């Protein structure tokens, strides 16, 4: 069973561009947050279910609990009707997610998102566990409205996601301060310790003038067309090690989304996507390229293509050379 860790290693070997260096040089004022990569490897025959006492917030919300402990809700797969409220939950908790991305992922994995919903239809919390591959799933977007935290709601959504994943390998990005919890309490024993994900974020306008638009000889950088998708599919497969054709097609064609591709000698050598998030920020991702100069031009073209969005959010690897 090939693990996510091996997929990521393969990606680092092929992808020579270090976007972290690019950002530090071109946009030194951007703030960044470090995330770690962890993986749940079911080959170890480990399983885990949260105990309510272990997920209770350290901050006591006794006054709020008095008003919310009697709330009636169910845990079920997210439906299209839940999406606007799911976005509200992420806005409330400061998450950056595309305004139309959930619809794409629901088409790819109809049971990949779970919600806690009251009898009146209020969404209390969400969690996603999308099956990317026969042996690999990725969990994230784990969030509960503040006034409903500490009631065990989040753990029940989490457990539903784990049941959906089954015995597949499961990976996640751990936020600062949570690595030990996932590693020690949630049975995620494999930790990528040779590189980290740096989240670069600003709500201020980012000038594309800081980036080069000089395209190397023989390379075309253009907005993605339907006919370019097969080239992107092949490039992406060589990068991650498994096919993501449907995901790429769906996410690259979302509303509020622009995709740029670099082509040389009839082959894709890089591509990137920018979309408007639920916070109104321009979210760049994915962005892959074989060469740093190509990556820089793609990034510039993406920013230029979305003048209506303010700010920028992008995750870069601390070392992907």
Check if the beta carbon of residue 285 is closer than 8 Å to that of residue 302. Answer: no
Token readout for 302 is 């993406």
Question: What integer pLDDT is reported at residue 42 of this predicted model?
Answer: 38
Q: What is the DSSP letter of 21?
A: H
Reply yes or no on whether the pLDDT at 41 is more than 50: no
CB proximity list for 59: less than 8 A, separation 6 or greater: none
What's the half-sphere exposure (Cβ side, CA atoms, 13 Å) at 14? 17
> Model pTM greater than 0.85?
no
User: Can you tell me the distance from the alpha carbon of 179 to that of 57, in angstroms, rounded to the nearest whole number?
Assistant: 16
- Dihedral sign, Cα of residue 64, residue 68, residue 74, residue 77: negative
**Residue 229 pLDDT:** 98
Is it the case that residue 237 has pLDDT exceeding 90? Answer: yes
Q: What DSSP line would sit under 260-307, residue for residue?
A: EEEEETTEEEEEEEEEEBTTS-EEEEEEEESSHHHHHHHHHHHHHH-T
How many angstroms separate the CA atoms of 182 and 202, rounded? 28
Do you find a cis peptide bond into 286, omega within 30 degrees of 0?
yes
pLDDT tier, 44 (very low <50, low <70, confident <90, very high otherwise): very low
Domains, the chain, in order of start with CATH, read 20-31+198-317 (3.40.630.30), 71-196 (3.40.630.30)
Residue 28 has pLDDT above 80, yes or no: no
Whether the predicted pLDDT of 162 surpasses 50 = yes
* Strands (E) located in the chain: 31-40, 73-77, 113-118, 123-133, 136-144, 169-174, 190-202, 219-223, 257-264, 267-276, 282-289, 312-317
Whether residue 247 contacts residue 264, with contact meaning beta carbons closer than 8 Å, is answered with no
* DSSP assigned state of 93: T
Mean pLDDT of 101-130: 95
In 94-123, which positions are buried (b, 16+ CB within 10 angstroms) versus exposed (e)?
ebbbbbbbbbbbbebbebbbbbbbeeeeeb
Highest mean pLDDT among 5-9, 40-44, 148-152: 148-152
Q: Distance (Å, rounded) from C-alpha 7 to C-alpha 10? A: 5
Summarize pLDDT for 268-308 with one digit per residue, the tens.
999 999 999 999 999 999 999 998 899 999 999 999 999 88
Q: What is the pLDDT of residue 43?
A: 35
Residue 203: pLDDT band (50, 70, 90) is: confident
Q: What is the mean pLDDT of residues 153-177?
A: 90
């Amino acid at each position: 069973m090939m693990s996510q860790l091996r997929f990521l290693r393969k990606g680092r070997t092929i992808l020579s561009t270090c976007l972290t260096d690019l950002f530090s040089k071109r946009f030194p004022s951007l703030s960044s947050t470090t995330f770690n990569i962890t993986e749940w490897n079911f080959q170890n025959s480990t399983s885990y279910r949260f105990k309510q006492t272990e997920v209770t917030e350290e901050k006591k919300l006794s006054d709020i609990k008095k008003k919310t402990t009697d709330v009636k809700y169910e845990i079920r797969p997210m439906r299209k009707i839940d999406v606007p409220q799911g976005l509200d939950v992420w806005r409330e908790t400061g998450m950056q997610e595309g305004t139309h991305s959930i619809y794409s992922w629901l088409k790819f994995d109809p049971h990949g998102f779970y919600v806690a919903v009251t009898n009146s239809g209020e969404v209390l919390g969400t969690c996603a566990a999308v099956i990317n591959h026969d042996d690999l799933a990725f969990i994230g977007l784990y969030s509960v409205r503040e006034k409903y935290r500490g009631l065990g709601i989040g753990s029940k959504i989490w457990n539903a996601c784990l049941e959906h994943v089954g015995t597949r390998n499961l990976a996640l990005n751990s936020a600062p301060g949570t690595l030990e919890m996932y590693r020690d309490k949630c049975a995620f024993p494999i930790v990528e310790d040779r590189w980290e994900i740096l989240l670069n974020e600003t709500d201020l306008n980012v000038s594309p003038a800081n980036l080069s638009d000089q395209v190397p000889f023989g390379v075309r950088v253009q907005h993605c067309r339907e006919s370019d998708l097969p080239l992107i599919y092949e490039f992406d497969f060589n990068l991650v090690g498994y096919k993501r054709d449907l995901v790429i097609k769906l996410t690259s064609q979302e509303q509020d989304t622009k995709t740029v591709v670099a082509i040389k000698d009839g082959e894709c050598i890089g591509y990137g996507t920018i979309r408007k998030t639920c916070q109104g920020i321009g979210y760049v991702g994915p962005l892959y390229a074989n060469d740093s100069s190509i990556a820089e031009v793609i990034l510039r073209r993406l920013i230029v293509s979305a003048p209506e969005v303010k700010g920028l959010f992008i995750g870069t690897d601390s070392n992907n050379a």
